[in-house]
Chain A
């Protein structure tokens, strides 16, 4: 039992898990309690507080006191907030492992979102195709993921064909993709989708628990883990990122691997866009503005090495959770929002240092055991 527990804390992401547990304990203890009002919906649809009598016999609203951080709704919210970045971070981790970078993910998100939003709007309650919401939903999903895949294919093809650093290529395509998104929408946000989309993605499980985006993030992480750790195709990504020349001489078709990771990264961005469309009920060209840096930060916090050859899907997802826990913690602890960027930046560096320290300790332990 002890050895199992020990082995559990010796795997690559254990440092991050300890950081998450530590942050959780701090927020649970110092976050304090919060009153939750008890409300009821009247037959006419109005919402009013449930009243009760206090010690003086006066009618007062009923409230429930609970821990600010450690309550189901807050934890579900944290998971949901992490999910959009988390889903994209899994794809980004693959690109980074292969030795590349994809700065266009936020803009792929925006372009996929607005094009899918237009399709969904057409089949929505106010659109010309309102008679076929099911068909609209299928076309909307296909558009979102298809457009994203196409963007990824363009990124990958340009990186492979032009042999220019992916930083430059994706820096260029990010502007193009967001520009197209703006031209398509004219700056207007697009809404009124078939209700089925929101019913599924914003499905309420229990009292105000919206778990679908978080579950999708877990599934994406699981698939990413299987791809990277269990499939030969995934191992080739590590080989290309670790030493491209050696990978080429050992018969790996490097171009195909690179193409694949950019497509996967973009499809992850498309999937995150789909979750956003369903959850927030609208798409606009300003969506996911600046997300690329959060996504890269999540992957790097998760252990992905910017020089390639190292990283994991689980780490990327945990990196997104750490980022969101920090930003949520600033709010829970009542710290002035003006300092949020400073704190998040400092915490990102601390998390990476702790992860490195853990890796170093593990390697030292292993080398001692070996020798």
Chain B
């Protein structure tokens, strides 16, 4: 009896690949893979929500069921991203949106996906050498320049600035850091850039890094945070409000309290919800309408959030990420 059972199971397994038959079908549903950098980063959770809302909106518009297949590593891991892209292709995804932790590492996987007929779009962090048909995100060098421009004005053109960066391998962060340095050299001769401080992209690691740097360098009078990781914690900034000027990228709900209490002078909100929404829109347009944007780079403008504009911005945030 046991032998017969084993035989049946073995035959069933062996028969599985034989059941593959050629057939045709009209696409009534689409599965779109979403590979962000890290699940632990709140901005990508906003992107996920944007993608899911776009899936519903566009599904209604075109009369198709759109499913978002979220395949994001827990923490930043470019190799895992490349593997996830390969797995999405094998799982039959119709399109893929990626935010690249390391452009070089995922380029091969993106190209393989495209060669298999799966269109790929990147968001937030691009892979410019790959066969992706479009990229949506912040113009990073310009973002860095804007941070320094605003910070320089707040500091009255003099002082010592530290740059807080996250993953040292992310090309978008490198471009922003370069933007900060270039703008400083160009416009603010009275300001010295102390260094660029990298950290693991978690709020706790970022907050600890700021604390360490401030402890060792009390002469710092300005922070250019090219990502707002420490602001996801409470009481991470130990200085008295106004004594150190700070401009940071991103403006999600937990970060706003630092603006309210004066620890941060300006937040540059990336439209991270739109990363997901717009990526899905680009993919559906490509798959359903066979349309590609006129230029591969589709810019996502930054929103300047100050104490004065905070109320308006919060209304927008309520739509993007309802509490």
Answer whether residue B217 sits at the interface, using C-beta atoms and an 8 A cutoff: no
How close is A291's CB to chain B, nearest CB, in angstroms? 9
How close is A163's CB to chain B, nearest CB, in angstroms? 32
Instruction: Please indicate the chain B residues that have their CB under 8 angstroms from the CB of A231 in the complex.
Output: none
Contact of A337 among B12, B72, B79 (CB under 8 A): B72
Tell me the complex Cα distance, A187–B79, Å: 16
- Between A and B, 30 residue pairs with Cβ closer than 8 Å are A34-B90, A34-B91, A36-B92, A39-B117, A48-B117, A58-B26, A60-B24, A60-B26, A60-B27, A62-B22, A63-B23, A68-B90, A68-B91, A70-B13, A71-B17, A71-B20, A71-B90, A72-B17, A77-B83, A77-B90, A182-B168, A187-B169, A190-B104, A191-B104, A281-B107, A282-B104, A282-B107, A286-B78, A286-B167, A331-B87
Whether A340 pairs with B24 at a CB distance below 8 angstroms is no
Instruction: Please indicate the chain A residues that have their CB under 8 angstroms from the CB of B21 in the complex.
Output: 64-65
Instruction: Please indicate the chain A residues that have their CB under 8 angstroms from the CB of B82 in the complex.
Output: 280
Contact with B along A137-173 (1 / 0, CB 8 A): 0000000000000000000000000000000000000
Whether B87 pairs with A202 at a CB distance below 8 angstroms is no
How close is B302's CB to chain A, nearest CB, in angstroms? 24
How close is A329's CB to chain B, nearest CB, in angstroms? 11
Contact with B along A45-79 (1 / 0, CB 8 A): 00111001110001011111111101111100100
Tell me the complex Cα distance, A336–B168, Å: 29
Tell me the complex Cα distance, A35–B200, Å: 39
Answer whether residue A332 sits at the interface, using C-beta atoms and an 8 A cutoff: yes
**Known contacts A74-B90, A280-B105, A331-B87; is-contact A52 B24 (Cβ 8 Å):** yes
Instruction: Please indicate the chain B residues that have their CB under 8 angstroms from the CB of A255 in the complex.
Output: none
Chain B positions 119-176 with a Cβ under 8 Å from a chain A Cβ: 167-169, 174
How close is A59's CB to chain B, nearest CB, in angstroms? 9
Whether B19 pairs with A67 at a CB distance below 8 angstroms is yes
Tell me the complex Cα distance, A340–B77, Å: 15
How close is A242's CB to chain B, nearest CB, in angstroms? 36
Main secondary structure of the interface of A (DSSP, over half): mixed
A-B contact count (CB 8 A): 152
Whether B17 pairs with A67 at a CB distance below 8 angstroms is yes
Answer whether residue A290 sits at the interface, using C-beta atoms and an 8 A cutoff: yes
Most buried by A among B12, B84, B108: B108
Contact with B along A214-255 (1 / 0, CB 8 A): 000000000000000000000000000000000000000000
Instruction: Please indicate the chain B residues that have their CB under 8 angstroms from the CB of A81 in the complex.
Output: 83
Instruction: Please indicate the chain B residues that have their CB under 8 angstroms from the CB of A35 in the complex.
Output: 25, 92
Most buried by B among A66, A286, A328, A338: A286
How close is A46's CB to chain B, nearest CB, in angstroms? 10
Tell me the complex Cα distance, A288–B76, Å: 11
The 4 closest A-B pairs by CB, nearest first: A187-B168, A282-B104, A34-B92, A39-B117
Instruction: Please indicate the chain B residues that have their CB under 8 angstroms from the CB of A63 in the complex.
Output: 22-25
Answer whether residue B281 sits at the interface, using C-beta atoms and an 8 A cutoff: no
How close is A6's CB to chain B, nearest CB, in angstroms? 13
Whether B20 pairs with A65 at a CB distance below 8 angstroms is yes
Most buried by A among B101, B108, B117: B117
Tell me the complex Cα distance, A38–B71, Å: 24
Interface size of B by CB at 8 A reads 51
Tell me the complex Cα distance, A289–B79, Å: 10
Instruction: Please indicate the chain B residues that have their CB under 8 angstroms from the CB of A41 in the complex.
Output: 115
Whether A286 pairs with B92 at a CB distance below 8 angstroms is no
Tell me the complex Cα distance, A66–B12, Å: 14
Whether B17 pairs with A47 at a CB distance below 8 angstroms is no
Closest to B94 in A: A37
Tell me the complex Cα distance, A52–B105, Å: 36
Interface size of A by CB at 8 A reads 65
Instruction: Please indicate the chain B residues that have their CB under 8 angstroms from the CB of A191 in the complex.
Output: 104, 107
Tell me the complex Cα distance, A41–B12, Å: 35
Whether A284 pairs with B169 at a CB distance below 8 angstroms is yes
How close is A2's CB to chain B, nearest CB, in angstroms? 10
Tell me the complex Cα distance, A40–B24, Å: 16
Whether A289 pairs with B77 at a CB distance below 8 angstroms is yes
Answer whether residue B114 sits at the interface, using C-beta atoms and an 8 A cutoff: yes
Answer whether residue B16 sits at the interface, using C-beta atoms and an 8 A cutoff: yes
How close is B95's CB to chain A, nearest CB, in angstroms? 12
Answer whether residue A200 sits at the interface, using C-beta atoms and an 8 A cutoff: no
Whether A281 pairs with B104 at a CB distance below 8 angstroms is yes
Answer whether residue B103 sits at the interface, using C-beta atoms and an 8 A cutoff: yes
Answer whether residue B289 sits at the interface, using C-beta atoms and an 8 A cutoff: no
Tell me the complex Cα distance, A341–B118, Å: 29
Answer whether residue A23 sits at the interface, using C-beta atoms and an 8 A cutoff: no
Instruction: Please indicate the chain A residues that have their CB under 8 angstroms from the CB of B25 in the complex.
Output: 35, 54, 60, 63
Answer whether residue B313 sits at the interface, using C-beta atoms and an 8 A cutoff: no
Most buried by A among B72, B74, B118: B74
Answer whether residue A285 sits at the interface, using C-beta atoms and an 8 A cutoff: yes
Instruction: Please indicate the chain B residues that have their CB under 8 angstroms from the CB of A38 in the complex.
Output: 22
Tell me the complex Cα distance, A235–B116, Å: 49
Answer whether residue A355 sits at the interface, using C-beta atoms and an 8 A cutoff: no
Whether A284 pairs with B104 at a CB distance below 8 angstroms is yes
Instruction: Please indicate the chain A residues that have their CB under 8 angstroms from the CB of B52 in the complex.
Output: none
Answer whether residue B41 sits at the interface, using C-beta atoms and an 8 A cutoff: no
Chain A positions 269-297 with a Cβ under 8 Å from a chain B Cβ: 276, 279-282, 284-290
Contact with A along B65-85 (1 / 0, CB 8 A): 000001110111111001110
Whether B104 pairs with A53 at a CB distance below 8 angstroms is no
Whether A208 pairs with B20 at a CB distance below 8 angstroms is no
Tell me the complex Cα distance, A285–B169, Å: 8
**Known contacts A25-B9, A276-B79, A338-B39; is-contact A332 B102 (Cβ 8 Å):** no
Closest to A52 in B: B24
Closest to A332 in B: B91
Tell me the complex Cα distance, A67–B14, Å: 11
Closest to A29 in B: B12
Whether A281 pairs with B102 at a CB distance below 8 angstroms is no
Whether A337 pairs with B39 at a CB distance below 8 angstroms is yes
Closest to B14 in A: A70
Instruction: Please indicate the chain B residues that have their CB under 8 angstroms from the CB of A130 in the complex.
Output: none
Question: Contacts A37-B116, A198-B108, A281-B107 given; 13 further ones with Cβ under 8 A?
Answer: A25-B9, A25-B13, A29-B12, A35-B25, A47-B114, A48-B117, A61-B24, A64-B22, A65-B20, A68-B92, A280-B82, A284-B78, A286-B102
